[in-house]
Structure 1
Amino acid sequence: MTEGEFWEQVFPEEYAMLKENLTAEEFENFSAMKKYWGDDHPELPYGANVWDENGPVSLRSIKNGETSIYGLKNQNIDKSGYVIKGANQDAEFTVNRLCLLLGRKSGIVLCADNLRRKGSSIVYSGTGRVAGYTSSTELTVTIELYGDGTRVGYDVNYGNKGHTVTVSNSYSNPQSGTLYQSKVIGTSTNPDLTTYTWSPGRLWPYN
């Protein structure tokens, strides 16, 4: 990912101002620079489903003829190009297929399911898997539920090597008129990565 691609998606207004205030050559050189994340990840609207050691991987880079290979044939990608708009009914299938996108690269694939209702509770869940794993790879998948920006619940599950890890929990005290959203965080060792993705927000109550 280049600086131009990052700024255009995350800071579009500031990016337009840069274009106005820099010379054409300065703007072109800045835009073409490779984005360096350091210890941080880009604050994309919903994170990303696929991460490698350089940061998030754009799903828009997949050619139309290859979408079925990666489980994306009937999926909607959000405006950022990094997140599927709500997991399909088989999140494990989607995660396993997206691992193919990384090939032999080290990375993590995450999926945050749409929030759903069960009785008077909210069910929130997510799935993760490491690509390019070794015999000593370990994965921690944490899911957090937020209501109007405040964390109200969480759960954790663990796995190793290339095993798919699913985590799920329910929240029994949702408040009417509150926007709820879940965040799935994947943390691995060998490779050492920390990644995240968000589910779409939903206003309670919902069907």
Structure 2
Amino acid sequence: MVRGAIKRVISGVGAIAIAALVTIGVAPAAQAAPKPAAKPTSVQIVGKDINGTLIVDPTDGARLFDTLLAEVTWMATATPQTTAPAADKLGPKYTLTVMLKTAPQMVYELYPLAAGGPRAHRPAKQPVIGKTVTDGWFYGRLTMSETLRVSGVPLEARPDVVAGGIGGGIGQDLNADELDPVTGVNNFLGEMRQLLLVNGAVLVVIAFGLAGIAFLIRRKV
């Protein structure tokens, strides 16, 4: 009788374990992240001392293009960080339009020479129909002026803000997603959610197994 009870306990725990493992395998798939948006294909720059429109795309170098994108794309969903500075403290304005083929996606205004450090503005009015964002001002990256300069904007060289020192180039060979803090946080939260799902499923297996053993033992007693 005891041997039969042990077999039933093992069978019950095994069935529960299999069900839990199936749940572990299915849950992350069911909550898979949505398909990422298409990557921009070019960036248009207009502003002071630029004749016409300056266009930067991957044919100018993937490293340069990704670095230029990284200067602005993090602001797409970010919360504004500061108020609008006085107009006479902003310096020259350069308007960047992020393009997807021939369709403009987002517009940003950059002020690399603003007093107190670079500033960036995200206008509430955006080119995508039906898309509205909160008008906001941000502290720009210290690399803003040098990134714009190597993209073709006539600005004075600032090798002191470029990783690697004089002649070191613009940082490391990273893509825009790796430099985007919003994307980094989303990826981290996604990984943590999957980890919690796995740990939760393991605890469920253990709890059901112990409950099954206790129930069968009580029946025999």
TM-score interval for Structure 1 and Structure 2 normalised by the shorter chain: under 0.3
**Larger fraction in strand:** 1
State the structure with bigger RCO (CA 8 A, min sep 6), 1 or 2: 2
Larger Rg: 2
TM-score between both structures, scaled by the size of structure 2: 0.24
